[in-house]
Amino acid sequence: MTPATRAYTLLGPDGRPYRTPVPGTLGGTRSGRLYGRLDCRSALRAIERGGYVTSRVFFADEATAIAAGYRPCAVCLPAAYTTWKAGLPAPHTEAELAELLRLLTGRHTITIGHGRDRASTAAAQALAAAWTGEAAAVVSWPEHAASWLRPARRFVAHAPDAWVIAGTRPGWTGMRDRLLRGTEWDPSRTYAFASLAGAVTDEHGDGGGGSRWWAADGARPERA
């Protein structure tokens, strides 16, 4: 008799559990909505005392944890915690980029938009380099502005099949509000890096139910 394949329960980018034969690489806790290394000394001490056990969760990678609305542990991920505390986006991952490319299958023309911070600029450049179709435009926007009219017009100028965005929430909020006032931008054709999880439109927010980082229309990635 063939032994049954072990299955693990992980959380997806929408904060929902799914079963997979591949174990997670990061652990976390629902109670504090934070994630960290599996060997985090702080988490292990808490588990020894009986804490975290009922609220323990696991993630495939960091991008998924961020998209689900969890923040990095200050003890085992100090650099990521410092970035999070400063309100800056974490660097994108290769898995995140690969998932976006998969979701863009069938699209031919895209416009890439990004904030001007280092991580968002790098994410946009990585997508532009990996994209095999036509990148109609790469548009950046400021963190603060009296009006985002000029970048908003450039963002919609080429009527692409899809838009992809990366940036901080304050900068994107200003850009998004400008786009919603009298442009042809379609949120349902807009995809986001994890830095803007749930922020393509404001309908998902940052609530405890998790965020959708892959697309505003809620198209869910396939899972094993």
CA distance 109 to 84: 32
**Region at 150 (left for phi over 0; alpha for psi -120 to 50; beta for the rest):** alpha
Instruction: Label residue 213 by pLDDT band (50, 70, 90).
Output: very low
Region 127-144: mean pLDDT is 95
- Please, what CATH class does the domain formed by 94-196 belong to? alpha beta
How much is the mean pLDDT over the chain? 85
Pairing of strands 26-29, 17-20: unpaired
Question: 8-85 — its CATH code?
Answer: 3.40.10
Residues 165 and 191 sit within 8 Å (Cβ to Cβ): yes
Residues 81-135: tens digit of each pLDDT: 887 887 778 788 888 899 899 999 999 999 999 999 989 999 999 999 999 999 9
Tell me what the mean pLDDT of segment 3-9 comes to: 79
Sort 34 into a burial class: Cβ within 10 Å, 0-12 / 13-18 / 19+: buried
User: What distance in Å separates the CA atoms of residue 181 and residue 33, rounded to the nearest whole number?
Assistant: 34
| 50-59, 101-110, 165-174, 208-217: least confident range | 208-217
Q: What is the mean pLDDT of residues 53-72?
A: 89
- CA–CA distance, 71 with 33 (Å, rounded to integer): 6
Among all chains, which residue has been given the structure tokens 């963002």? 155
Identical fold for domains 8-85 and 94-196, yes or no, is no
* Residue 61 pLDDT greater than 70, yes or no: yes
pLDDT band for position 202 (cuts 50, 70, 90): low
Give the phi and the psi of residue 165 in degrees, each rounded to 5: -130, 150
Domain locations in the chain as residue ranges: 8-85, 94-196
Average of per-residue pLDDT across 147-169: 94
- Closest by CA to 120, choosing from 152, 80, 92, is 92
pTM exceeding the 0.85 threshold for the entire prediction: no
39-51 pLDDT per residue, tens: 999 999 988 888 7
